Amino acid sequence: MTKQQNMNINKPHQIINLDDLTVLFVTGKDATKFLHAQFTNDLAGLPVNSWQYSGYCTPKGRLLAFMTIARINDNEYLLILPAEICESILPRLRMFVMRDDVTISPQHEQLYIAGVVSAADVLSDNGLVTEKASGKLVALDNTYMLTINEEMGRYLYITDPERIDRLPLDPADRNNWTQLDIQAGIPAIVTATLEAFVPQMVNLDLIGAVNFKKGCYPGQEVVARVHYLGKIKQRMFVATTPATKPAKPGDKIYIAEQKDKQAGTVVQASNMNSGQILQLVLQTEAVSGNADFRLGDIDGDKVIVGTQPYTIIDTENQQ
C-alpha cells in the first residue's frame, strides 16, 4: 500500500456507520462462567472495563463467529458481531444457558454502532471520556466507548443516534473501517465463511483471541490439537489486487495455470484508489514459494501478497 493510499483512510476526525454490526447483551450472576465455557478466549480473566477478541466454534473447531467481547461489570457483557450471523448465534448461545442465571438480549433499535478514527480530542471536547490504553472500555449511561487502537485514535462508539449527531466529525465510508481491520490483521466471519476456518487459519492465536490454557469450550480439543501437535497449512495474509470488481468473502483464490487447484479464500476485501486490499487465507507453502495467485479463477486478476501486520509463523510446534 502506498503512503497516499494509507493517508486516505487515516484522515482525522472520521465517524463511520457500522450498522452491519450488532450487540448482544449478556447479563446475570453466571454470565462469566457461561461465556468462559463458550468462547476461545479467557473470559474469566477479562478485567471489568476491558474488551478482547474471541472466537466461537463448532464442536469440530470450525468458526461460527469472531467477535469483540467487552466486560461492563462483574455480571454484564457486550458481544459485538456481524448482524448477518446474529440470528444463528443468538439461539445457539441461548440453547446452552440451561439452568444458569444468564440472560442474552439483542440490542434495541435505538442503539447505534459507529467507528471513530483519529478523534480523541474531539471526543474529549464533547464530554466523552476515552481510555488511553488499547483494550479498555468506558461505560456510562448506556453509552460505551471501546479503545481499539489508542495510537491511531481508533474507537468503537455504541450509543443512541442523537449523541452521534452532536459530534463534529466527518462521515466516512464503511470501506475505511474495513481497510483498517485488514491492515491490523483483524478478521471477520460472515455468512459466506461460516465454518470455513479453524481459529489458527485466520490468525486468532496471533492476535490474542485464543487462550490455550483455559478449560473446555466447543471445539477446544481440535483447536488445542492443532496448536500442540499439528502444523497449520493455511494462514491469513494481507494482499492487494488491481481488480475493480469487488471481491467478496468466500471468493476463491487460485494459482495461475494450475487448473482447479484452489489455493485460498477471501476473508474480507476493501476498495483502494487503484484496486483492492484483501484479507486472504492462503496455503503457507504456496506463499513461501511465491506462487502466482489469481482471484476467482486461474486466469483471474493477479493477487500480490504484501507486508503483514504481524509475523505469521507456525506457532503450533512451540510449547
Render pLDDT for 237-254 as a digit per residue (tens, 0 to 9): 999 999 989 999 999 999
Domain 3-184 bears CATH identifier 3.30.450.40? no
Nearest alpha-carbon partner for 278 in 296, 260, 261? 296
- Give the distance, in angstroms, between the CA of residue 111 and the centroid of all CA atoms in the same chain: 20
Predicted pLDDT of residue 318: 37
Predicted pLDDT of residue 7: 37
Predicted pLDDT of residue 229: 83
| CATH 3.30.1360.120 segments of the chain | 3-184
Predicted pLDDT of residue 12: 66
Dist. CA 64–CA 29, nearest whole Å? 26
Dist. CA 193–CA 275, nearest whole Å? 23
CB atoms within 10 A of CB 92: 15
Predicted pLDDT of residue 121: 82
Please identify every stretch of the chain with a pLDDT value under 70, giving residue numbers as ranges. Answer: 1-12, 313-319
pLDDT per residue over 271-292, tens digit each? 988 899 999 999 999 999 999 9
**Dihedral, 264, 267, 45, 22 alpha carbons, nearest 10:** -160
Domain 233-308 bears CATH identifier 3.30.1510.10? no
Predicted pLDDT of residue 314: 52
Dig out the grid coordinates for 95 from the structure: 440453547
| CATH 2.40.30.160 segments of the chain | 233-308
